[in-house]
Amino acid sequence: MGFEPFTVEDLCLAHEPQYVNDVLSLQTANGFNTRDPEINVALHYANASMWTAVRHVLEKGGVACSASQGFHHAHFNHGYGYCTFNGLVIAARKALAYVDHVLILDGDAHFGDGTEDCLAHLGLAAQITNITRNQIGAKAHSAYTAAKWRSFTSGLIDQYKPGLVIYQAGADAWDLDPYESGYLSMTGLKHRDEGVFKACKQAGVPVAWNLAGGYSDPMQLTIDIHLQTLVVSDYVFANRG
């Protein structure tokens, strides 16, 4: 599915216009703490990719993946932690033209403070629920089976009754990630993904997921985590794997 890069107007759906313009005109640093025009061009595509995956499942149902990341530390008027513009919030806000409520499940091992800040500034916290590591990252969840993750996610779906789930499948939740914020083994990550996807499928709620985090050396270890999520997604929704 092809897509066009985001415009300035799209980016302003989550951010203060002055901040967006300052980043794109290289007056202020992006979330990578650079003023690199090539990175800034890529940001238009990365954020649009998240919305493209969301739009696909809103129209077709089921599941879609956006191979993108760098969103949840992007605040209303500043970015950091490799996050410049908040593609989660932008996609969720656009989705409100189709559904009444959006549930963001942020499986990153770090707190999605930028998402919280954007939703507060925009007055959208009642329509877009952001579930972060404060709810997902409990140490008790390290022993969760896929069935327990399914029950956990089903409980959130029952509570908030979303028309869409945006799932950020954080690879840095791996317990051997160098940033040391992780709490799940590789098998635990697989259980998490399977439980989330099965709960969404069971409830008939479309889900769009993206990558997040992961700082392993060699990088292949992080790639393996993302590929595992893709395999689980395919297994749950297409009965392949």
DSSP 165-234: EEEEEEGGGBTT-TTS---B-HHHHHHHHHHHHHHHHHHT--EEEEEE----SSTHHHHHHHHHHHHHHH
Which residues is 63 bridged to in the sheet?
A: 207
Is there a domain that residue 161 lies in? yes
Contacts 24+ apart (CB under 8 A), 220-223: 221/174, 221/176, 222/171
Structure tokens at 231: 């395999």
Q: Other CB atoms closer than 10 Å to residue 18's CB: what's the count?
A: 12
Distance CA 32, CA 11 (A): 17
Number of domains in the chain: 1
Helix (H) / strand (E) element for 90: namely helix 87-95
Is there a domain that residue 149 lies in? yes
The arrangement of strands across the sheet holding 63-66 comes to: 63-66, 207-212, 164-170, 102-106, 128-131
Q: Are 49 and 67 in contact (CB under 8 A)?
A: yes
Quick one: pLDDT at residue 2?
A: 76
Q: Which of 93, 82, 90, 89 is nearest to 42 (CA)?
A: 82
* Three-class secondary structure of residue 116 per DSSP: helix
Q: Which domain holds residue 98?
A: 8-238
Is there a domain that residue 181 lies in? yes
The amino acid that residue 233 corresponds to is S
Is there a domain that residue 23 lies in? yes
Is there a domain that residue 19 lies in? yes
Is there a domain that residue 2 lies in? no
Structure tokens at 39: 């990175």
pTM: predicted TM-score of the whole model, two decimal places: 0.96
Quick one: pLDDT at residue 210?
A: 97
Helix (H) / strand (E) element for 238: namely helix 220-238
Is there a domain that residue 3 lies in? no
What's the distance, CA 105 to chain centroid? 7
- CATH number for the domain harbouring residue 218: 3.40.800.20
Is there a domain that residue 1 lies in? no
* Three-class secondary structure of residue 20 per DSSP: helix
Which residues in the chain show pLDDT less than 50? 241
Quick one: pLDDT at residue 165?
A: 98
Quick one: pLDDT at residue 196?
A: 98
Quick one: pLDDT at residue 139?
A: 77
Quick one: pLDDT at residue 241?
A: 45
